[in-house]
Structure 1
């Protein structure tokens, strides 16, 4: 009887051990990440990550973060709003665990932070007054016309792209954030404002702006001298240099969500097209090395 009881106990322990090792529920309850709360830096910029009128944080990046980390055991997301230019400094000072708010992966930023693999891609877009009165269809048009000025968000990659294309000095005005940049266009302080195509799309859809602004079409953004094609910007989540474990777990789950169509569904919810998906197999390491 004693031996029988010992065998039953051993069997029960073996079953329990197997459940702890193999059960998705158990892993979620005791995730390898060891975190249940994430502090997330966002710039309150549609359609990326923003607080809506109901107080809820929405946006393509915010929804992707939830879809990635909730199955890994994260239960609470503390979204902290700051100016776009303060996001990476906030990450470096450990104010945030992750930043995901329309941040473009660039080699310069890669030296400071660990990026997750690209979530989606975006091109340079120029918003102008209704009717495009200055007939602007490229950065070259801006440079050629001595009376034209454009604006962009301080620290934004599209602002940097304009400068790289040759729009410099007084011709390129920089503003604190998306809202002040658009306000400058409405006040005729600038003739156009440059954003990612995703941000431009969202701004066009605002009822109070729809009758006043439009996206310059066609528009040729920064040209990659190596390919002769427009430079694509890849949007991704940024983690601290000590956040490798978090970033790696993120990448693994993100790949699964791309494969099962979840990422595409989230993108379409916010007005993105299928051709704005990140290329299959593209990693942040490859983008950082370009």
Structure 2
């Protein structure tokens, strides 16, 4: 009889222990619920995500993320601006808690971060000198016309170009979009590659020296879905974020918040899910 009581007590203690362990939330959930700031990391990528005059987070990816976080009850936000190439290493090193920088979901990135469900679908394009003197409209043109392409280190465009048969020797990689524009204007590169929004913004800032190619001229495989990224350990927060985003995405409130940054209904992500995108991009 005594042994039965001992076993019962042990079982009860084990149940309590397992219950406490299962109730233990991830680090970001605990930190946010304790009132600590949620640190969002992004680069200077107009109109996706960029700092304002007072370092406030601007851009449609930031606007959407902030709207979702607010709906979850979180308004204590701390922006952290870094180079594009420093976003994933910065997240992994704990410099910030979330990447809000408008990052494409790709298989290599899925190995390093946990993406939320997509918040938009976007295409890429090139900037070229006015008149497009080499007639560049797609990646094959870079190779066949002995041209040079420039893109930002860490962007998906270098890999996309090589998949389309472009020699690595014909691809320049630079730290920022400003340098992409400078390389094309100076003739060091014949085309600059990046997401269509960014390329249009560069063209607007060029004083008419460059123009943007048609994103539809690139293969369907170059269209990508964008999502907010988290540390892989922050599973509870990611789950809660996905639930909140599903309720917020596409609402009049959300569309109003992002419309000033060029995001429209046309960029809504459709039915694609992150698991499928990770396996196919």
CA distance in 1, matches of 2:34, 2:177: 32
SS for the counterpart of 1:271 is coil
Q: TM-score, normalised by structure 1?
A: 0.80
The alpha-carbon distance between structure 1 residues 242 and 68, as it changes in their structure 2 partners (threshold 3 A), is: same
CA-CA distance at 1:241 after TM superposition: 0.8
- Tell me by how many angstroms 1:66 deviates: 0.9
* Distance in structure 1 (CA, Å) of the matches to 2:150 and 2:116: 29
Counterparts of 2:55 and 2:31 in 1: how far apart (Å)?
Answer: 31
Aligned with 1:205: secondary structure? Answer: helix
Q: CA RMSD in A?
A: 2.1
Spell out, residue by residue over 1:10-42, the C-alpha distance to the aligned partner (whole angstroms, 9 max, x if none).
xxxxxxxxxxxxxxxxxxxx9995154111111
Question: Is the 8 Å Cα contact of residues 125 and 215 (structure 2) preserved in structure 1?
Answer: no
In 2: Cα distance, 1:283 partner to 1:218 partner: 23
- Native 8 Å contact 1:204 1:210 kept in 2: yes
Q: Does 1:215 align with 2:212?
A: yes
Q: Does 1:286 align with 2:246?
A: no
Q: Secondary structure at the match of 2:269?
A: coil
Change in Cα spacing, 1:232 to 1:269, as seen in structure 2 (3 Å) is: same
Deviations 1:150-182 (A, max 9, x none): 100001012321222122222111111212222
* Counterpart position of 1:193: 192
* Partners of 1:35 and 1:74 within 8 A in 2: no
Q: 1:117 to 1:160 in 2, by over 3 A?
A: same
The yes-or-no answer on 1:242 pairing with 2:233 is yes
Q: 1:31 to 1:39 in 2, by over 3 A?
A: closer
**Is contact 2:250–2:268 with CA below 8 Å preserved after alignment?**
no
Contact 1:129 1:185 in 2 (8 A): yes
1:195-216 Cα distance to aligned partner (Å, 9 max, x none): 111212332333xx14111101
- Partner of 1:139 in structure 2? 139
- Equivalent position of 1:43 in the other structure: 43
Matched, 1:204 2:203: yes
TM-score by length of 2: 0.82
Other-structure match for 1:17: none
Looking at structure 2, the residues matched to 218 and 45 of structure 1 have their Cα atoms a distance apart, in angstroms, of 18
3-state SS, counterpart of residue 78 of structure 1: strand
Do structure 1's residue 115 and structure 2's residue 115 form an aligned pair? yes
Cα 1:267–1:152, aligned 2, differ >3 Å: closer, same or farther? same
Q: Which runs of 5+ in 1 are unaligned?
A: 1-29, 224-228
Partner of 1:184: 183
| Residue 71 of structure 1, CA deviation | 2.5
Tell me, in whole angstroms, the C-alpha distance in 1 between the residues paired with 2:143 and 2:255. 37
The DSSP-based 3-state class of the residue aligned with 2:172 is: strand
The yes-or-no answer on 1:160 pairing with 2:159 is: yes
Change (3 A) 1:89 1:241: same
Q: Structure 2 unaligned segments of length 5 or more: list them.
A: 1-28
Runs of 4+ in 1 over 6 A off after TM superposition: none
